[in-house]
Amino acid sequence: MKVIRAKTAGFCFGVKRAVDIVYEQLDKHKGKTIYTFGSIIHNEEVVKDLTKKGVIVVRTEEELSKITDGVVIIRSHGVKREIYELLEKAKGVILVDATCPDVRRIHRIVEQESEKETAIIIIGDIIHPEVQGILGWIKGQAMVIKTPEEARKVKLSEDKPVVIVAQTTFNYKKFKELVEILLEKRYDISVLNTICNATRKRQEEAFQIAEQSEAMIVIGDKHSSNTQKLFEICQQACKATYYIQTLADLDLNQLGSVETVGITAGASTPNNIIEEVQNNVRVIF
Ligand code: F3S
């Protein structure tokens, strides 16, 4: 009987950096109110702990515009340019940017490319905050697609170059599939695979483990886009894949008498939650 835990399970460097920044700011600015624009990560447990320590989550631009002092932290997903401008105008506000460097890189690419009148195609989920942030750095034509049907329907003027970028956590196989469809069109296309290294490695390892496992457990917040993609990837290789947020969601009886169980977790899943699941799965074997 074997339990295989993915080495890449849990916080990626961008999420770890963002969470560390919030705790550092709490220490550094005792007495000041610390705000995060949106939850710092998609993980209820971490957000609850920060709330206990006094961190306030600001949800809308309207709420943000009313803040006149304190520290405002931008989370790893990044934000559109107007948010920086808004916060820079509020003189009493200290702006702390925890945007993941891999996301900032995409902001710079699309900003520079769109200045040259290049059309930008983002392969990703339009409602995801990271994609909304990227859209906010594009000065000209832009579109977001995530399905083969949407890729087939893309219509752009043929006299302008096109740059394709990806949401950092997009499924690499799907990205390739969509790029192939787009390359069949007669555009001058440059493809920039901006799926981050952490995501690529995590997806590859999850697939390999799922292939060798009779049951696979994917741990992460239900709103976490990268965890949802991990779940899809694992399901392709292992039918008995379970998506859980914490140990409480796992019915250990479901695992029955399997020989090998694989465990992976999204980029915003804290280590203690992964360990708790791993230890309890071990107990039943
Ligand atoms: Fe950054 Fe990739 Fe994590 S973009 S926040 S390292 S999933």
Which residues are annotated as catalytic?
Answer: 130
Long-range contacts of 126-131 (CB under 8 A, 24+ apart): 128/77, 128/167, 128/225, 129/38, 129/77, 129/78, 129/79, 130/77, 130/78, 130/103, 130/167, 130/168, 130/169, 130/225, 131/167
Per the CB < 8 A criterion, the answer to whether 122 and 135 are in contact is: yes
For residue 12, the CA-to-ligand 1 centroid distance in Å is: 6
Distance (angstroms) between ligand 1 centre and the Cα of 186 equals 33
Q: Do 2-10+197-284 and 102-191 agree at the fold level?
A: yes
Task: Supply the pLDDT for residue 258.
Answer: 87
Enumerate the domain spans of the chain. 2-10+197-284, 13-100, 102-191
Q: Which atom from ligand 1 is nearest to the alpha carbon of 168?
A: 4
The answer as to CATH 3.40.1010.20 being correct for domain 2-10+197-284 is yes
Which CATH architecture does the domain made up of 102-191 adopt?
3-Layer(aba) Sandwich (3.40)
- Given this model, what pLDDT does residue 232 score? 95
The model's pTM is: 0.90
Residue 271 corresponds to which tokens in the numbers above? 């280590």
Burial call 158-188: b when 16+ CB within 10 Å, e when fewer: eeeebbbbbbbbbbbebbeebbebbeeeebe
Establish how many alpha carbons lie within 13 A of residue 140's alpha carbon, considering only the half-sphere containing its beta carbon: 19
Note the CATH architecture for domain 13-100. 3-Layer(aba) Sandwich (3.40)
| Residues at CB less than 6 angstroms from ligand 1 | 12-15, 76, 100, 102-103, 168-169, 196, 198-199, 226, 267
pLDDT at residue number 186 = 84
How many alpha carbons fall within 13 Å on the CB side of residue 26? 15
pLDDT of residue 283: 63
pLDDT of residue 284: 55
Residue nearest to atom 2 of ligand 1 (CA): 196
CA-CA distance, 39 to 151, in Å (whole number)? 31
Confidence at residue 16, expressed as pLDDT on a 0 to 100 scale: 94
Q: Quick one: pLDDT at residue 71?
A: 98
Ligand 1 centre and the CA of 52: distance in Å?
A: 26
In tens digits, what is the pLDDT along the chain, a chain of 285 residues? 689 999 999 999 999 999 999 999 999 999 999 999 999 987 777 888 999 999 999 999 999 999 999 999 999 999 999 999 999 998 899 999 999 999 999 999 999 999 998 999 999 999 999 999 999 999 999 999 999 999 999 998 888 999 999 999 999 999 999 999 999 998 999 999 999 999 999 999 999 999 999 999 999 988 888 999 999 999 999 999 999 999 999 988 877 778 899 999 999 899 999 999 999 887 655
At 282 the pLDDT is: 76
Q: Which of 19, 43, 76 best tests ligand 1's pocket when mutated (most atoms within 8 Å of CB)?
A: 76
Q: What is the pLDDT of residue 255?
A: 78
